[in-house]
Structure formats: C-alpha cells, structure tokens
Amino acid sequence: MKLIKVAAAVLNQTALAWDENKSHIIDAIRSAREQHVSVLCLPELCISGYGCEDAFHSPGTQQIAQDVLLEIVPETQGIIVSLGLPLLHRGGLFNTACLVADGRILGFVAKQNLANEGIHYEPRWFKPWPGQVCVDIEVGGGKYPLGDLVFNCGDVLLGFEICEDAWVGGRPGAELARRNVDIILNPSASHFAFGKHQVRKRFVLEGSRAFDVSYVYANLLGNEAGRAIYDGDAMIASDGQMLAIGPRFSFADFHITTAVIDVHATRMSRARSGTSRVEVTYQQDSCAAAEFDFPGIAPEQPKIEPHAWENGQVVKEEEFARAVSLALFDYMRKSRSRGLVVSLSGGADSAAVATLSGMLVELGVAELGQERFVEKLSHIPGLADAADGRELVASLLTCVYQATRNSSPVTFEAARGVAEAIGARFFGFDVDDLVQNYVTVVSDAIGRPLTWDQDDIALQNIQARARAPSVWLLANIRGALLLATSNRSEAAVGYATMDGDTCGGLSPIAGIDKAYLRRWLQWMEQQGPEGIGPLSALSKVNQQQPTAELRPQDAGQTDENDLMPYVVLDEIERAAIRDKLTPLDVLHRMEARDWQYSREQLGVWIERFFKLWCRNQWKRERYAPSFHLDDENVDPKTWCRFPILSGSYERELAELRKYLGD
C-alpha cells in the first residue's frame, strides 16, 4: 500500500480582500499540516476571490494576485497545495490553479471549460485553455510551466479539473486517466442551488470510479461577493467509494475535510480495467516534477461528517434556512453593517425575512460559540455585553410594524408575535397621518379629491411609500442594513411598490417563489431546522391569506385575487421565463396538467402574466441585490436579461386569444 493523506479546504473568501483571503489560506494550510495532510486542495480563485467581476481586467488585480501567491508559497513547507488565481499570458487572462510543493511553485494549470450560463459569465473575463498545450510563463522572476499539466510529486501523479471542467461531457479527467494520474484535484467556486450537492456528489464519485483515481473536491463557502451563496461542499472519493464529506453552510472562516487514500489500490484498479487505456511515457512539456517525501500514515475509516440534517435525505427547507442565514450573516459583516432592520407587516414575506435574520444568530452561535460569533462582528459596538443569544438577536435585529387605517389588528399581532418569538427589538408606528397629508397635498394641487374608484393604485402605493422614510431613518440611526421583503413571484409581475415595500439595501428572498415560501413557513411553524426546532408564533402568519392590506378592510383584498393563485403564477413563470415558452405553448403545458381551472381562466392568467412581466422590467432592474437560490431566477443583473422596452408579446398573445376563441 502507498497511503497518502489528502484534504479539501473550504474557505470563506471575499472578492479583492487580499489580506483576509491570504490569512484564511495560510490558516487552512497550517491546520492541514497539523493534521499530517500531504496534499491540500483549496477552492477556485481563492487568492483573488471568484466574484471580482470586471476588476479581473485590472492590471493591478493581476499583479497583487501574483504578489500574494509569492507571499503564501513559503508557508507550504512539507505539504503540496493548490492555489487559485487569475493569470495573464500574451493578452489572454486565464483562470488557473497553481500547484506548490514544499515551498516551491511547480506550475499552473489553466481551466479548459468556462461557465457561461445562469449567474456565471466567465468568458467575459477569461479565455479557455486548449487541451494538451503547455507554455512557459514568468512569475516573480521565476519561469514555470502553464497549461494542461500533470504533476509528478514523489512518483505520485496529480492533475486538475477546475470546477466547470467536471460538469461537461468531455471532461479533462478522461485524458488525465490516460496519463496515469493518481489524484485529481477539483478546486471549485460552484454557487449554491437547491439539490446541487447531489449532482456534485455524483460527478465526484463517478470521476473517481471511471478514471480509477482519488478525487478531491473543494468549494468556496459563504457569501463571497453579494449575490451568490457557496455551501462549502467538500468531498473526497477513491475508486468509486466516498471517503469523506464535510459539513456545509459553516459559519467558520475555513473547514478541513481529510481522508487517507491508497495510490496502489487505484493503480491496480486501472490495471484490472479492460477498457482503460494508458500512456506509457509522458512528454516532458506536459509534466512538472518535484521530489516530495510522503510520510507513512495509518489507514482511516471513511469520515462522512455532514451536519445531522444531512445524514438522511437532504431537505430543501433546511438548505433554504441555512443558505440564507449564512448569506445574511456574511453580507452584514462584510458590508460593515451594524445590524438588520425589517419592516414587519405581519405577512408571509416579512415574517420569513425576520425569521431568517434571527436564525443566523442561533445557527452561528451554535457552531462558533458566542465569543467567536461576536468576534466575527467586532465592528458592531456593544455585542460583547449580550448575555445570551436572545440578547444578541435584540442587538442585531429591529422590526417595525407601520400601520395605516387599512391595517388590521390581526397583522399587528402576527408581526409582534414573530418579533417577540425570535427576540427582535419591535416598534409599532402609526403612519396614517403621513399618508393623509400626502393625499391632501396632491388633492389640493389637482383640485379634486382622490377616490378609490378613480385612484386605486395611487392610493395603495402612497401607503407603502409613506412607510419607507421611517424605516430608512431607523436603519440609518443604527447604521444597519435595511432588508427589502419582496419575493420572486411578485418581482415577476411587478406586484410591489417601488420605493415602498421594495426599499432596502438587500432583498434576501427576491430569488424565491411565494408558493414555496409559504410552504417553508408552514415547515418552520411545525418542525424547523435541526437543532433549532419549530417557531409556533408563525401560526398567526400562516393562518392568513396573503394581502398587501392597502385597500379599505371591507374590500377584502388578497394578493391572489389581485393576481392569480400563486401556484399558477409560479408555474407560468417557470414555463415562460425559465423555459422561454410562448404564451400559447405555456397554455398547452398548463392544459396537460390536472388543474381545477378552465382553459379560458388559464388563458386570462397567462395573458395577465406576460403583460405584467413586460410592463415591469424596469422594476426588476431597480430591485436591491438578491441571493441566488435556484435556477429559476428573474434577476436581470445575473440571470434573466430582458429589455426594459419591448413589443410586449403582442403577436404571441394575439395567437393565444385566437386559439382560445376557437
């Protein structure tokens, strides 16, 4: 047996935060060395951060990345480490992994397949590296190989698949297998989406089996640059067997997942394989070599160490709770905000945002302990005086209910109940006089009274907008981050008041649909996350029909009466926006399902959706940044680009009406 201890380190990095990123990298290297690790895989672009956007095109970014690399190299004595950074060569910028062994740079492998869908836009900054090409490049006065490299370290061969390389059909691993590679490292920056962990798990296992190798996968962790969330996935597999899985959604700066692999075992598997083809010799320009002594190590049992909630089937509700809580925590501390403020209406959306904001304290303290949790928020004065987690929530989260004459005692009690249950500071404001003053000023100016028959939308909107100054003032006084509470279903059809309920510096649930959000709140009321439990105070929220509460109470206003049932809206959105179907094709898809609604009613709702979608693109352009949670996003900055001015599907909707008329 030839036993080697390998590790995947997940890191909570920040775009362009050079010294902090370097500190996390060095801490991870030292921790791995203390655990007698010989080969350590760090995430993609871990030196610069993955989300640098157009700053990748700055010459200063390239130079500092190289400077930081050279500062880290001396820390790699006695260990082999992969480090990610952008590298400029002959007018092309490449996403590279640098392999460093025992204090010496061996070379750079460049990513061959660039992610160019969804929130990823890598070809805007990087060029894909052609396979089987190697050149020399100068870094810090030294000359090193760059390209499609295999590294020979103490007679153990290492190769790379960098993130997207493993997601494509013709993944580089097949060629690496033909070149007798023993270990494939996969440094990744793979954004979180529901269920994505299982996809990664499959390609890690299948890669290790099909290529007869040991496979080490390391992802980024946390909210790195604002919108994308990284779950910190870490996996190590060998010859089709999963040896180690790390916990996801950690609040720590880094986490090390280790396993002991047997190089001889994977080589014998390759030898036994009747379909495996290998190269007997290597061309010198495709292989970098270094002497490295692998210490003797004892065998280990597989260490599958995710959190308890992941030991069985992964629950989407758990992923949502933990992903958004971690993202909020990172956004708050990295933006240097001194807390969070939520305009709590007593409805589902604001209740979800407040619950997630309180949960970040519970989850963070449970993992880190209160002292370390407070230390990570050291820019906020007074937190160290909190006696327990509940006082921490009160110090960090402020909720405010803002009533008008159209508000009801039901929503006030629901809002107050949720705030008290999670431990938030709670205020009740009456803003009706402000609303009436605005109405009077405008009525006097135009020479007529404003009425619900003639001015319905205007009278609804002024109530939402009148609430904005107070809650902004509250946030400014505290130096806190104001959270908007709109969801994706509302964003799709513009069912929101700009500068009213959309006001805020961050919109954490704008990437999630309303139907799912309501199901999540039911789950939170009845079960809740592992280790936290249910929040029974949500019952007063869940018992209500969603309503903006902007018309007089006797109008019986509900969101679904204004729009359509949310389950229908969300199904239309998926078909029209995610799948790019025409209105008539959307109807055909809807008819194929067992809906309780007539074809004519579905046609009315489909036409309403398309008209509202086109009419309200300008609103989506103005939404505060939102978190990416699944692959059905309507965020025009990162996922779904659509013209602000368009033909509004007039021809397509005429086709729909003709079909319905027949």
Q: Tell me the pLDDT tens digit for each residue of 224-258.
A: 999 999 999 999 999 999 999 999 999 999 999 99
- In the predicted structure, residue 306 carries a pLDDT above the cut 80: no
Specify the CATH number of the domain 564-662: 1.10.10.1140
Q: pLDDT for 56-106, tens place per residue?
A: 999 999 999 999 999 999 999 999 999 999 999 998 999 999 999 999 999
pLDDT at site 147: 95
Query: How many other C-beta atoms are found inside a 10 Å radius of the C-beta of residue 642?
Result: 13
Contact 625, 506 (CB under 8 A): yes
Average pLDDT over residues 513-525: 96
Q: What is the DSSP letter of 637?
A: T
What one-character DSSP code corresponds to residue 577?
Answer: I
Cβ distance 394 to 524 under 8 Å? no
Tell me: pLDDT of 331 over 80: yes
Confidence band for 638, pLDDT divided at 50, 70 and 90: confident
**330 or 550: which leads in pLDDT:** 330
pLDDT tens digit sequence for 114-151: 999 888 999 999 999 998 899 999 999 999 999 999 99
Task: In whole angstroms, give the CA distance from residue 514 to residue 352.
Answer: 11
Angle at 568 between CA 639 and CA 539, to 5 degrees: 95
Contact 132, 156 (CB under 8 A): no
Among 372, 50, 94, residue whose Cα is nearest residue 192: 50
Rounded alpha-carbon distances, angstroms, from residue 26 to 40, 76, 294: 12, 9, 21
User: If we measure between CA atoms, which residue out of 412, 395, 455, 465 comes closest to residue 434?
Assistant: 465
DSSP state of 484: P
- Residue 491 carries which DSSP code? H
Summarize the confidence of residues 438-455 as an average pLDDT. Answer: 96
State the average pLDDT for the chain: 94
Q: Does domain 316-554 have CATH number 3.50.50.60?
A: no
Tokens found for residue 45: 């672009």
What's the whole-number mean pLDDT along residues 274-294? 67
Distance between CA 445 and CA 442 in Å, rounded?
A: 5
Name the segment(s) of the chain with CATH classification 3.60.110.10.
Answer: 3-309
For residue 284, pLDDT beyond 50: no
Domain 3-309: assigned CATH number: 3.60.110.10
Over pLDDT 90: what percentage of the chain?
88
Nearest one of 245, 181, 174 to 206, comparing CA atoms: 174
Confidence of residue 330 (pLDDT cuts 50, 70, 90): very high
pLDDT at 557 (0 to 100):
87
The identity of residue 168, as a single letter, is V
From the list 161, 151, 152, 153, the residue with the least C-alpha distance to 184 is 161
Token pair, residue 541, equals: 């929220």
Q: Which residues pair with 399 in a beta bridge?
A: 342, 426
Could you tell me the pTM of the whole model? 0.95
Domain with CATH 1.10.10.1140 in the chain: 564-662
pLDDT recorded at residue 549: 79
Q: Cβ contacts of residue 333 below 8 Å, gap of 6+? A: 376, 377, 379
Residue 302's pLDDT is 77
- Which residues lie below 8 Å from residue 308, measured CB to CB, with a gap of 6+? 530, 531
| Alpha helices by DSSP H, 479-505 | 488-493
- Alpha carbon distance 263, 292 (integer Å): 15
Q: Is the predicted pLDDT of residue 617 greater than 90, yes or no?
A: yes
Q: What is the mean pLDDT of residues 389-401?
A: 97
Q: What is the pLDDT of residue 646?
A: 96
Return all residues near 124 (Cβ < 8 A) that are at least 6 apart: 54
Cα–Cα distance between 43 and 593 in angstroms, integer? 43
Residue ranges, comma separated, of all CATH 3.40.50.620 domains in the chain are 316-554
Question: What is the pLDDT at residue 299?
Answer: 86
Average pLDDT over residues 489-495: 95
> For 485-605, where are the E strands, in sequence order?
none
H or E stretch at 92: strand 92-101
**386-402: average pLDDT:** 96
Percent of the chain with pLDDT over 70: 97
In terms of Cα–Cα distance, which of 549, 289, 294 is closest to 411?
Answer: 549
Per-residue confidence (pLDDT) for residue 279, from 0 to 100: 65
The Cα-based distances of 586 to 22, 578, 606, 653 in angstroms read 50, 11, 8, 11
Residue 216 token pair: 């080490």
Do residues 9 and 255 make contact, with C-beta atoms less than 8 angstroms apart? yes
Q: How far is CA 129 from CA 98, 113, 120, 188, 260, in A?
A: 14, 8, 17, 17, 32
Residue 313, pLDDT > 70, answer no
- Kindly report, residue by residue over 369-381, the tens digit of the pLDDT: 999 999 999 999 9
Instruction: For residue 549, give Cα distances in angstroms to 140, 294, 408.
Output: 63, 68, 8
Q: What is the pLDDT, as a whole number, of residue 281? A: 55
* The pLDDT value given to residue 312: 63
Lowest mean per-residue pLDDT among 153-157, 169-173, 297-301, 303-307: 303-307
Residue 276, pLDDT score? 56
Cα 210 to its chain centre, rounded Å, is 30
Residues 642, 645: Cα–Cα separation, whole Å: 9
Q: Which phi and psi (to 5°) does residue 127 adopt?
A: -105, 145
Those residues with Cβ within 8 angstroms of residue 575's Cβ, 6 or more apart along the chain or in another chain: 581, 585, 586, 589, 590
**What letter represents residue 620's amino acid?**
R
Q: In the chain, what's the furthest Cα-to-Cα distance? A: 92
- Could you give the CA distance from residue 108 to residue 90 in angstroms, rounded to a whole number? 15
